[in-house]
A and B are shown apart, each in its own frame.
Chain A
């Protein structure tokens, strides 16, 4: 069965520091890959997605993610974190031809001033 692993439950970084959130998936081929963010009281917002092509994907709010087929990974990065980035981040996959999303357990990001 397909699954998504986010090994870090909680991450704390200082404002201005770089960030990398890890995501690994289990699937025999290449799925569609997504990162969502949930701020308090808000719905899940799509940060970026990967379907095919260039393995480095740019998203909103200065985020990027890199797909590495050999590692079955899709890590999210940001070069300089802002206090407003404090939120919970979810990695998700979708199997081509199917609509439902399969999510990881989420990583909660705290940002110190």
Chain B
């Protein structure tokens, strides 16, 4: 069974440009999460989807970030316009929706560099 996949693995863009990151969760996982690690600091939660609905977006830094999960399968995270401080590694994770705590399975991350 394929794990969580993310595309691209690396992206280098200029300040002010737009970038879209994609995450494909494990098949059958209705929970999908986005996290970000900036400059060797802690990994921080951005938001959580249950199917196509945003369950918790308390970690989204500002309105330059837009996450979507149309159809409840893959998700995209768009940064528009990108700023220097958006550089970091963006992780996606997915889990099942069952009673109790659901283990999150992580993708390899997308490394975003904004110049």
Chain B residues with CB under 8 Å of chain A are 3-4, 31, 33, 35, 40-45, 48, 55-56, 59, 91, 93, 95, 101-109
Residues on the B chain within 8 Å of A96, using CB: 101
Known interface pairs A43-B3, A44-B91, A90-B43. Does A100 touch B56 (Cβ–Cβ under 8 Å)?
A: yes
A51: interface (CB < 8 Å): yes
**Interface Cβ pair total, 8 Å cutoff:** 58
Contacting pair B33 A100 (CB below 8 A): yes
Residues on the B chain within 8 Å of A99, using CB: 31, 33, 48, 55-56, 95, 101-102, 104
Instruction: For the complex, give the distance between the alpha carbons of A105 and B48 in Å.
Output: 21
Name the residue on A nearest B97 (C-beta): A99
Contacting pair A101 B42 (CB below 8 A): no
Tally of contact residues, A, Cβ under 8 A: 24
Chain A residues with CB under 8 Å of chain B are 4, 32, 36, 41-46, 49, 51, 90, 92, 94, 96, 98-106
Instruction: For the complex, give the distance between the alpha carbons of A42 and B102 in Å.
Output: 21
Instruction: Beyond A43-B109, A100-B45, list 14 extra A-B contacts (CB 8 Å).
Output: A41-B108, A43-B106, A43-B107, A44-B43, A44-B93, A51-B101, A92-B43, A98-B56, A99-B33, A99-B101, A100-B48, A100-B59, A101-B104, A106-B42
Instruction: For the complex, give the distance between the alpha carbons of A96 and B102 in Å.
Output: 11
- Distance of A65 from chain B, by nearest CB (Å): 16
